[in-house]
Structure formats: structure tokens, C-alpha cells
Structure 1
């Protein structure tokens, strides 16, 4: 995602404006529904593990990111949640937040229910079921391989407890790099403990998964607003 100087300034301005609009929407939501978390207020935190495979063993392309290319077994703290907080079985945007430690650094990855094929992976999709639909990071990360989107697809027969984690370049093919397994099933009613955790992929970055400055401008205002509402 290389932008020339004449293009950069308008794009930054547009991202800042969009970020301000998202922050305003977050403030509005916080005012009509006071909550410790105006976004994703209802959730369940559960421990798990992520087992990744080596790119060279699987014959998939390398991304240049250790998390996506190397064999490892990582402990994970996960939170499944509803973005708006609508009660089941009303469709909502489901979120999957992951906190993990790579190369001694703790980082966050946030995903939401979207489409899966082509451009649909960049569109949010309300769902009735949280553990039975695919999720993506929606926005791309900057990596040595170029813009990369992460995705999570439920493992057949293990919905609500296991996902295959994948990555793709833009709207290209998905490459599976690991499996996320939670310690217990999280149902659509999100029954279970919900710790007061603040997931933020801009402040808590996974090594190798960099935020594009223009996308950070888009995300930061709403994250700051959400934190301020607490």
C-alpha cells in the first residue's frame, strides 16, 4: 500500500475524518447505553492455545511474519463478544479478541464476523451464531509480504471451541497457519466470566504485524473514546 505524496495528504485527511466519525458513533453509543465497554459490552473470556505450523513444512508461501511462518505453541487469552450487545438470538456482529505473546512481546488481534470470499472478507456481517461463522481482521496489516488479512474459520464439529487461523494477501487465497483451541465451549449466550481486559491492536502489536498509518488514524479515535468512557 504505497501512496505518492500528492495522494497521501487527502487519504490521511479522509482517514482522520472517518476516525472522528467512528469516535462520535462510539460516544453516542456510550451515552445511550452507559457501560464499561460501549463496544462489545457482552462477552466471555476463556483461556486457550494456538498451535502454528511452519510454512516450509506445509508448502505455503512465507509471509515474513514469525507468527504466520514458524512452528510454535502459544498460550492465548480469548474473548468472544457481541459488538452491539444485542441479546441472543438477535443477529449481531460477533468479535473474537486474542491476546498472545510472540518473541517476548504481548500483542492483540481483533476479528469480527464478515464474509469470507473475495471482497466480502472486508464487510461486517451480523450473525446469530458466534462460533459457527468465519471472522477476519477486516483491515489489512503491513507485512514483508504486503497487505495481509487474518481470518478464523470454525473447525467442523468443534464450533465454539476451535478455529483454523489463516492469512491472505488482499482478496487472494487463504493460507492456514495454525489452530486455535479454547479450553471450553463458549455458547451463543456468552455464559461465563468476563474479565476487564482492554484489547487494542494499535497499542499492543504482534511482532511483524504492523498497522498502516492511515488505518491507525481510522482506528485510534474510537479506541480512545471507548477507553475514556470507562
Structure 2
């Protein structure tokens, strides 16, 4: 395990534990919208990750949470987060997206957005497949005028589905679409206490580089342990 990544991961965990004391139970992404829907593959791919490349028969049930990362009041811009859980025969697959650019370098930079409708979002950190590292991303297809406030988003998405396309790419390569997402706001609730765990519930055929686990996992464990909620 790389010493520098381990040291940075430990510092991040301490920071998020301290932040949790002020913003309990979620130090970031404090307010969100609970979503549910389905994911349909577009066809076979060649990413090197079997979960992407081998389409399942029919749609896959998904649950998601759309949130504003820092939690600044709407309509101010914020980094948009989308936490996704796709069900599968081998267990759940958890993926976390955040609003970024889509070009070769901006895909690694967090970018605030006014609305989820404008938020191209990526995983920022890559998975490892049989052909090398792979990034995932989502692009909204419609509606193109979603509001920025979570309560307003929930009201809109209870009557109008949110459609997104899912992509895969090498870190500096072209984006290739492989699936479509359709999400609606869950009835009877605004937010959800469910959490995902991207370190444990990786897509079949994908692994995570040790330096990424060392950097990210301590924060996940510390925050989720203190909140009493698991993925």
C-alpha cells in the first residue's frame, strides 16, 4: 500500500470525522433526493470490465441519491453528486459520480453546476479492468430544465422521469456509451438514509488500485461507522 496514499487517507478520515461532528450524519452531500428506476444496456462493449461488456437480459433495478455536495443553498452552484446502486445476481454494484468536465483533463476536476440537467458527472478515480484503467460517467438526456433545490427536484421527478446515459472511457480516451438510466423520485419521501460503498460493491470484473483504496476507504469507514449506517 503506498505510504503517501495511506497518510493522505488517514488525514482525510480525520477531517471528515471532525466535520461529522458539525454536520451529522453526512459531512458532505447533506441533503438529497431518493430516486429509483432501471438501467438498460445498449449492447456489448469492450471496456475490459465484464459488468459493462456483458449486457444482462432485460433491465436492472437501481436506486440512487441525487445531492448537492457542499450543501450551499440553491440556486447557488454546487458540485452535483449521484450515488447509484444497481442490483445484480452477484450482489449490488455501487458507483459514485460527481459533476466534472468531460475533456481529457477536466474529467478529473470537480465542477459546480447550477442544475443536475447540466451536470456531466464522472467517477473521477478509475476502476481497473482487463484492458487497463476505466472511468465511468453519466450524461443527463432530459428533462433539460431541472431545478436546483432538492425539494423542487423531487416534485418534478415524481411526474417526469430523469433520463441519463452511462459511459466508459480510458482515462484520456473517448467516452463510449453502454447503458441508459431512467430514474424517478421515490414516492412518500424526499431523502434516504441508504448509503453506498464503492470500495466493497465494485462492478464484476473490476478492481480498485491499492492507492485509491488507501486514499478513500478510511473516510468511508470512519464516517459510516460514526453515523451508524452501512451501504
Structure 1 match to 2:53: 69
Note if 1:13 corresponds to 2:3. Answer: yes
Give matches, 1:8-47, under 5 Å: 12-31=2-21, 33-47=22-36
Aligned residues: 209
Counterparts of 1:126-205 in structure 2 under 5 Å? 126-157=112-143, 161-184=162-185, 192-205=189-202
Shift of 1:171: 1.1
Deviation for aligned residue 1:102: 3.0
- 1:108 is paired with a residue of what secondary structure? strand
Query: What residue ranges of structure 1 are gaps of 5+ in the alignment?
Result: 1-8, 56-60, 186-190
Separation in 1, partners of 2:145, 2:124:
21
Q: 1:212 aligns with which of 209, 213, 225?
A: 209
Q: CA deviation at 1:178?
A: 0.7
Pick from 75, 78, 83: which aligns with 1:97?
A: 83
Q: TM-score, normalised by structure 2?
A: 0.84
TM-score where L is the length of structure 1: 0.84
Q: Is the 8 A contact 1:52 1:67 kept in 2?
A: no
Residue in 2 that maps onto 1:188? none
Shift of the alpha carbon at 1:125?
Answer: 0.9
For residues 23 and 103 of structure 2, what CA distance do their matches in structure 1 show? 36
Residue 222 of structure 1: aligned partner: 219
Residue 17 (structure 1) shift: 1.5
Residues 66 and 208 of structure 1 are in contact (CA less than 8 Å); yes or no, is this contact kept in structure 2? yes
CA distance 1:228–1:48, change in 2 (3 Å): same
Gaps (5+ residues) in structure 2?
147-161
Query: Which aligned runs of 4 or more in structure 1 are off by greater than 3 angstroms?
Result: 156-160
For residues 47 and 158 of structure 1, the distance between their equivalents in structure 2, rounded to whole angstroms, comes to 19
